[in-house]
């Protein structure tokens, strides 16, 4: 596969996304899971005050955005009632925005997206790409905020049965562009769309690595690209060669940072991570490697 040519139907690159930080390098989005059951840090930040403090700590460490989510999307996770998701997410969004932190909301539900944007969130990060809630497109269109469209084939309880591809890179790119066409027809501004290949969502480890090594295919579509690899199972599988056995979720931050550097060097707009500092250092090195780092004083 040649991953440096635009796909048929590729769009021209939009200008800077209104409302998002501009740094001259790949952005780093810190993850705040306000959930009891997320795969890596479920339960640690279920309390509003603790979640806000964690988000503030990420901002001090250099996070460009803090992504607040109230529903686990790990394989096999049970759906969260919208009312419960609202009660988890909105107070944290409000608390972080009050402190001047740029916040995104990680949700598949239009009602949660609407409430979070009203509370000050500047981006909607939807792992279903608008497929889980028919009202999401109209909500995002009315809100006028950047929208992350993730490749998604099925809910968490069913996704692993849909991890079948003949050409994972081509199929993911084509399905994402088809989602953009559908969302655009529903009023979403394509200039506010960000693509996410959906690592781990209806993907096996080999699929994830194929997508990462061919990120240029998505970048060539002209849309900004976000990569969420942090602490995921395919990273743990790659670390299983280590004799010391340290490849559980909490031991994957250095490896995640390596993936962040490679993704940044490939031209992605943003990486979404649990450990901000290590990935921030990594994307700065990628910027220097690519000749995009600021000149030394």
Q: Over the stretch 61-87, which tens digit does the pLDDT of each residue have?
A: 999 999 999 998 777 677 899 999 999
- Which tokens belong to 82? 């919208």
Q: Is the dihedral of CA 5, 10, 16, 18 positive or negative?
A: negative
With beta carbons less than 8 A apart as the criterion, state whether 141 and 189 touch.
yes
Strand pairing partners for 29?
65, 272
The answer to whether residue 15 scores a pLDDT higher than 60 is no
pLDDT at 245: 60
Of all residues in the chain, what percent carry a pLDDT higher than 70?
88
What is the pLDDT of the chain when averaged over all its residues? 89
pLDDT at 210: 97
The answer to whether residue 37 scores a pLDDT higher than 80 is no
Per-residue pLDDT tens over the stretch 184-198? 999 999 999 999 999
The answer to whether residue 9 scores a pLDDT higher than 50 is no
pLDDT at 13: 44
The CA dihedral of 53, 261, 172, 108, to the nearest 10 degrees, is 10
Catalytic residues: 232, 272
pTM attached to this predicted model: 0.89
Per-residue pLDDT tens over the stretch 266-278? 999 999 999 999 9
CA atoms within 13 A on the CB side of 99: 19
The answer to whether residue 48 scores a pLDDT higher than 60 is yes
Query: Which has the higher per-residue pLDDT, 194 or 290?
Result: 194
The answer to whether residue 113 scores a pLDDT higher than 70 is yes
pLDDT at 2: 33
* Phi, psi of 213, deg, nearest 5: -75, -10
- Which tokens belong to 156? 């968490």
pLDDT at 41: 53
Contacts of the segment 47-56: beta carbons below 8 A, 24+ positions apart: 48/88, 48/91, 48/92, 48/95, 51/92, 52/92, 52/95, 52/96, 52/99, 55/30, 55/92, 55/95, 55/96, 55/101, 55/103, 56/96, 56/99, 56/101
pLDDT at 101: 97
């Amino acid at each position: 596969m040649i991953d440096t040519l635009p796909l048929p139907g590729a769009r021209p690159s939009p200008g800077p996304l209104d409302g998002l930080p501009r740094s001259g390098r790949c952005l780093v989005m810190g993850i705040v899971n306000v959930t009891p059951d997320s795969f890596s840090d479920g339960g640690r930040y279920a309390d509003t005050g603790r979640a806000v403090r964690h988000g503030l700590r990420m901002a001090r460490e250099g996070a460009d955005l803090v992504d607040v989510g109230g529903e686990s999307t790990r394989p096999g996770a049970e759906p969260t009632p919208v009312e419960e998701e609202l009660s988890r997410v909105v107070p944290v969004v409000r608390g972080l925005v009050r402190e001047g932190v740029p916040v995104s909301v990680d949700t598949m539900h239009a009602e949660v997206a609407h409430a979070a944007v009203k509370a000050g969130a500047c981006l909607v990060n939807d792992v279903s790409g608008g497929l889980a809630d028919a009202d999401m497109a109209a909500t995002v269109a009315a809100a006028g905020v950047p929208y992350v469209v993730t490749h998604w084939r099925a809910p968490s309880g069913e996704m692993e049965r849909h991890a079948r591809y003949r050409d994972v890179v081509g199929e993911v790119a084509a399905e994402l562009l088809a989602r953009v066409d559908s969302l655009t027809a529903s009023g979403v501004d394509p200039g506010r769309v960000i693509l996410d290949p959906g690592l781990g969502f209806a993907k096996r480890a080999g699929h994830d690595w194929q997508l990462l090594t061919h990120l240029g295919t998505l970048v060539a579509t002209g849309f900004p690209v976000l990569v969420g690899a942090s602490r995921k199972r395919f990273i743990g599988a790659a670390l299983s060669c280590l004799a010391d056995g340290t490849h559980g979720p909490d031991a994957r931050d250095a490896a995640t940072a390596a993936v962040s550097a490679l993704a940044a060097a490939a031209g992605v707009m943003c990486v979404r991570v649990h450990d901000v500092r290590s990935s921030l250092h990594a994307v700065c090195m990628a910027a220097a490697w690519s000749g995009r780092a600021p000149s030394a004083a």
